[in-house]
A and B are shown apart, each in its own frame.
Chain A
Amino acid sequence: MKYAFFPGCSMESTAGDFRMSTLAVAEALGVELEEIPDWSCCGSTPAHATDSLLAASLPARNLAIAQDMGKDVVVCCASCYSRLASANVALAENADLRAQVAEITGREYAGGLKIRHFLQVLNEDIGLSEIKDSVVKSLSGLKVACYYGCLLTRPKELSILNDPEDPQLMDNIMAAAGAEPVEWPYKTECCGASFSITRTETVERLSGDILRMAKQSGADCIVAACPLCQSNLDLRQADVEKATGEKIGLPVFYFTQLLGHALGIPDAALGINKLMVDPSAILAR
């Protein structure tokens, strides 16, 4: 199975461990992720918050390059997924926008590429039974809160999930790896996203609610599929604890890290040492 892979800026820096673990899991499961040559930033929040034409043009440049590769585009960062998928739909629907964007980027993109999240590849193309068969170190006994956040969930037209209030794609994978996904009500709440730097208190409040709810629901750890979510829950966890005086101590993995661990990939190749909340106690069990 071969795909055109769009890593995105976060995976080059704060979410380097997401990238490492994704590539390692892909290799272990026989998935070939070929990086889109010379890819550029998707535009992220600042593009769509300031200029709709820019928000369509920055993804379009990448899609035009990917088009020549003739494969589905696979994205891991939820934010990049959302920007690429949104532009893809807008460009397919609107011929006038398509013409403007072609003039701006200097590349023709006809639309029609499939943009997919790696979670979809695992669920739909690899399949859960194949994953189950590849597990060498079952996660049995580990209670996991799967956190989806906003950008994979909403808006509905771009969602990779069947149920926007109680999604299952990550839960399925964790269960296939032997873990026990907990039922909890904050799967798709917002963590505060890009306000991490500009409105830190907001993020501490929203992410704090999510962390406490995961803990109350009996989870030993959280898994996430978005660099923004992961960093808000992991990097800001100490601040949340300090603000409330309450210890939380929940490691926050990328789903690829925990899956990779179950597939027997060494922790160092999954970037597990990059996590802020130390997960060694629960991985050693």
Chain B
Amino acid sequence: MNNPATITSVNQGLLEKLDPEGKLNLASCLQCARCSAGCTMRLETDILPHQMNRMVLMGMEDELLKSKAIWTCVSCHTCVSRCPMKVDTPALVDKLREMTQTAPSQDLEKINIFNNEMLKSMKQFGRVYELGMMGFYKMRARDLFSDLAKFPTMLLKGKMKIFPPRTRAAKSVSAIFDKVRARRAKR
């Protein structure tokens, strides 16, 4: 966790930018840390949920966008469900992830690569083609050998299909991706 003494820049408008309508209740946080006590990823993150919420109020945009925390969060919703003020940390994490393109380390970048490969698969086939997606993921993440021993059994048990799904949905799903991207470019 960054010590406040090392704050590199302050964005006073960060709260307004992340939660213009106040739906995430970020400003109501009591700093009681109930969220952090139960956070699934508390042992692997650099910023705990209550710290993250505080950093938003303090305008620490750079630190948040470069944190491990926005990648390690597994969206389990344990924090918000136990929060007395209904502060929606996982929604905050989604918004922060939307604002950044790359993860701070190669290890965490694997999450980003995985997400992108899965999205590509959805766009191309309308549904996820697991075997194909895994192949591309493994090449791009340079993670060729892990779990390799599992593939034959999974294929044998029919837990993975060799051929991609064929759907009539593919065309309209691809159009949805294109339109969302076009809008995003305008934003």
Contacts and interface: CB of A to CB of B under 8 A. Distances in A.
Given A50-B98, A105-B176, A154 B76 contact: yes
B115 A49 contact: yes
Contacts, number: 149
Contacts of B95: 52
Interface residues of A, number: 51
Interface string B64-95: 00000000101111101100000010000011
Q: Which 6 A-B pairs have the closest CB atoms?
A: A154-B77, A46-B115, A190-B76, A40-B169, A9-B128, A190-B40
Interface stretch (B3-11, B25-33, B47-55, B146-154): B146-154
A106 B128 contact: no
Interface string B152-187: 011001111100010111101101110110011000
A103 interface: yes
A281 interface: no
Interface class of chain A by DSSP: helix
A157 B110 CA distance: 31
B97 interface: yes
Interface stretch (A136-144, A196-204, A257-265): A196-204
A206 B41 CA distance: 9
Contacts of A199: 44, 72, 110-111
Given A41-B122, A235-B154, 7 more contacts: A46-B114, A46-B122, A57-B180, A58-B173, A106-B172, A199-B111, A202-B44
B80 A47 contact: no
Interface of A: 9, 12-14, 16, 38-41, 43-54, 57-58, 61, 100, 103-106, 150, 153-156, 164, 189-190, 192-195, 197-200, 202, 206, 235, 273-274, 276
Contacts of B35: none
Given A52-B98, A104-B176, A193-B74, A200 B118 contact: no
Given A51-B180, A53-B183, A16 B158 contact: yes
A274 B172 CA distance: 33
The interface size bin for chain B is 35 or more
B175 A274 contact: no
Contacts of B75: 45, 48-49, 150, 193
